[in-house]
Structure 1
Amino acid sequence: MESAWRSSAFARDRSTDDIHMNAPQPSRFRFSTDDLAPEERFKVWSEGFVHRRMEMDFIDRSPGDLRFTVEFIPLGGVAAGIVRGTPSVFLRRPERDRNEALYMVINRAGRFRVVQRQQEFWLAEGDAAVFDNRQSSEFHCLEEGETWSLSLPRDALRHLVRDIEQTIERHIRADDPALRLLTGYLETLFGLGEIAEPELAGVHVADLVASALGARKEAQGLIEERSVRAARLRAVLDEITRRAGEPLLDPARVAETLGVSVRYLHRLLEDSGKTFSEHVLERRLDRAHRLLRDPRLAHLKISEVALESGFSDLSHFNRSMRRRFGETPSAVRAAAQRRENA
C-alpha cells in the first residue's frame, strides 16, 4: 500500500475517470468518497484509489452505500494515516506489486480478519497486523471500522529489526508495550495542528515500529535514545494535559498509568525544560483561562472555575492567574464579556 501514500493530493479528472496527483505536497491529505456523487464512488475508490494507488483488488461488502475516508500525513519516507470505511475486502496480489514497503495496520474500531500465507487471525481492537507487500494477503473489514495505517520503506527498518524477513507478516497484540507507545504517539501527531519536523516524526514512527517488531540488540540503545524516549515524554505530557483537572494529580499517579517509574518520569521531563509541577500548573491555567472566557460558562463562580481546572486553593489560583496572564480571574472574565458585547 506504500504507493497510495506517495500521493500528495487527489483530484477527480472527469474526462478520464482517474485520480491524479497535484503538487506541491501538503502537510496533510484527505480523500473521502462523501465528496463524490453516489454513482461515482465505487469506480473512483476501487479503480482510481485502491487498484491504481494501493495496487490491490477491492471487493465491496457494504450493506448500503460504500463510504471511505482516508486522512494521512507524509512523514519523510514514512506515511501515517487513518482509514475509515464500510465492510469490504482488500486483496494483495504480489505479481502486481512493485514496491518493497512494509505495511502495518492497527485496529482503532471495528472487526477485522487478516489472511496471510501461514496464518489467519482476528484483529482485535488495538491489535496490529504487519504485511509484506511482496506477498499475497487479504484484509477483511467485517463492519464499518477505522484503522491506523502505516507504510514504511523496508530498507529503513532492515538495520533496526532482527531477522526482518522472518518477523514481518506478524500479529502484534494490543497489550504490547511498544505498540501502545506507537499508537499513543500517532494520536499525538494527528492531534497537532502542524508538525514542525515531519521527517523527524517519521524517524520516531519507524523506530517505534522496529521496537514492536523486535529491534536488533545493537539498535536498541539508538531507538531508546532517538525515539522511545521522545514518545514516552509525549505520552507523559499528554497524560498531564488529560488529567490536569484532578486536584490530587501527582507524578506517582501518572507514572503508574504509563508503566514507568517516578524517577524515570522526572528524567523524561528534564528534556522538556520544565518540572512536573510546572507542566501541571501550565495546563490548569490554560484550562481556567478558556473557561473564564467562555460566555456559556459565565454563570460559574470563580471558585467553581478554579476547582474545575484542578485548583484546590483559591488564593493560589488567583496568584497564579495574575502571574501568568497579568490579570485576576475576574478581570479575565470581564474583558471577555466586554469583547462579547462589543
Structure 2
Amino acid sequence: MTETARGEATISCATTIRRGHMTKILDWHSKDLAVRDRFASWYDTMSRAHVHAWLTTKHPASFDASARVFDLGGLQFSVMSHHRLEVSRPAKLVRQSDPEVFQLHLLLGGAGGITQGGRDAGLHAGQFLIIDSSRPYQGWRGTEDDPAEALLVQFPRAALGLRSDMVGRLVAAPFTVRHGITAVLAGHLKHLAENADGLTARDAQAVGAVTLDLIAAACADRFEDTTVLSPESRRQALLSSVHDFIRRRLGDPDLTPETIAAAHQISVRQLYKIFQEQGVTVAAWIRRCRLERCHRDLADPRLRSRPIQSIAARWGFTDAGTFSRAFRAAYGMSPRDHRNLAAGDRPSSRPDHL
C-alpha cells in the first residue's frame, strides 16, 4: 500500500467510528467509501482493529465488506462480512508485534481455509476456528460471488483459564456447532451480534465474562474433560446451557423444573440454587422469557392478523386470563393496548381483555 493510499484509508476510516455507544469502537462499511479507497481502508482498519496481518484480494475494485467491532471489557467482539480475502501473518510480523491473543471465529456463511501449527484445514459455515497470534499462519476466506460472514472473538490467551498447550491442540482444527455447549456458545454469539449495539459499558463487562466462560467450556468439551474448567466457568456454562434449553422450549406448556433438571443431569435442588444465585426463580425466568417473546410478536406487523391468544399459546400461555394479568404486570398495559400502540393506533377503551 502506498503512503497516499494509507493516508486516504485512515481519513476514510475515521469517519466511520461512532462515539454514541460506549462499547462500539468501529462501524465500517465499504459502501461509505469511494471504490478506489475500499480495500486500502479495509486493510488499514482491520490491521488496527485485530491482529496485524497482510491482506490481499485479487479484485480490489469490486471488494465489498463491513465490520462492527465492540469492546466487551477484556475481549473484542466483531461482526464481519467480506468478499474473497487472502491473509498471511508470517514469522516476521509475529516477531515485530505479538499481542498474545487467541481469535475464535464462527463462520456463518461462505467458506475458507487456514494453515497454522502444522495443520492445513478447510472451514465451512457452522464451524468454529481458533487462531493463535503467536504462531505464523496463512489462509483465505470468502469468494468473489459468495462473501464470508463471520463472528470473531479476540481475547488474551491468559484470560481463557485453560493451559496454553491444551488450546494449542485446538489451533487450526475447526470444530462443528452441535448440540450441547458448542450450540450454546454459537447461540450466545449470534444473540450478541443482534444486541451488542444496546450494551452499556457495565453490561459489556458481564457479557464479556460470560463469553469467555462459554469459550472455555467449548474448548474443554473438545477434550471431553470439564475438570480443566474453573468452578465459576463450569457454573456459568451450566447456567447458559439451561437458559438455552428453556428458550428452545418456551412453547411447551409442560416445561417444568423437573424436565429441565433431568435434561442436564442435575437435581431440581441444584437447579433452584443456580437460579437463586441470579436473584430469580426458575418459574419467574420462564415467565419472563415467554412474555418477552409475546411482547415482540404482538408488535410485529407481520403477525397483526394473528389472534392475541394464539400468540400467547405459541409461547406456552394456555390460559388467557393468566397471560393478560402477567403481561399487564410486566409492561403496564394490556396485550391489546401494546399491539395497538405498536401499530400507531389508540389504546383500547375496553376493559382489560386480550
Structure 2 residue identity aligned to 1:150: V
Deviation track 1:160-193 (CA, whole Å, cap 9, x = no partner) reads 3253584363414125755444333323433432
* Residue number in structure 2 paired with 1:320: 326
Unaligned segments of structure 1, at least 5 residues: 1-12
* Residue number in structure 2 paired with 1:173: 175
Distance 1:125 1:166, change over 3 A: same
Asked if the contact 2:9–2:40 (Cα under 8 Å) also holds between the matched residues in 1, the reply is no
Distance 1:62 1:241, change over 3 A: farther
Choose from 190, 205, 208 the match for 1:202: 208
Distance 1:292 1:122, change over 3 A: closer
Distance 1:162 1:133, change over 3 A: closer
Q: Post-superposition shift, 1:127?
A: 2.6
Choose from 42, 47, 56 the match for 1:45: 42
Q: Note the 1:226-245 alignment, pairs <5 A.
A: 226-245=232-251
Distance 1:165 1:315, change over 3 A: closer
Structure 2 residue identity aligned to 1:16: G
Q: Post-superposition shift, 1:131?
A: 2.2
Q: Post-superposition shift, 1:23?
A: 9.8
* Greater CA drift, 200-209 or 290-299: 290-299
> TM-score, length-normalised on structure 2?
0.73
Q: Note the 1:128-207 alignment, pairs <5 A.
A: 128-143=128-143, 144-157=147-160, 160-161=162-163, 163=165, 166-167=168-169, 169-175=171-177, 178-192=181-195, 193-195=198-200, 196-207=202-213
* Residue number in structure 2 paired with 1:271: 277
How many residues are treated as equivalent by the alignment? 324
Over aligned residue pairs, what C-alpha RMSD do you find? 4.0
In the alignment, the residues of structure 2 paired with residue 89 and residue 211 of structure 1 have an alpha-carbon distance, to the nearest angstrom, of 31
Q: Is structure 2 residue 28 aligned with structure 1 residue 34?
A: no
Structure 1 residue identity aligned to 2:40: K
In the alignment, the residues of structure 2 paired with residue 78 and residue 232 of structure 1 have an alpha-carbon distance, to the nearest angstrom, of 22
* Residue number in structure 2 paired with 1:121: 121
**Aligned-residue identity in percent:** 23
Q: Post-superposition shift, 1:121?
A: 1.0
Distance 1:304 1:150, change over 3 A: closer
* Residue number in structure 2 paired with 1:7: none
* Greater CA drift, 227-236 or 73-82: 227-236
Q: Post-superposition shift, 1:231?
A: 4.2
Structure 1 residue identity aligned to 2:7: T
Q: Post-superposition shift, 1:35?
A: 1.5
Q: Is structure 2 residue 91 aligned with structure 1 residue 94?
A: yes
Unaligned segments of structure 2, at least 5 residues: 349-354
Distance 1:107 1:332, change over 3 A: closer
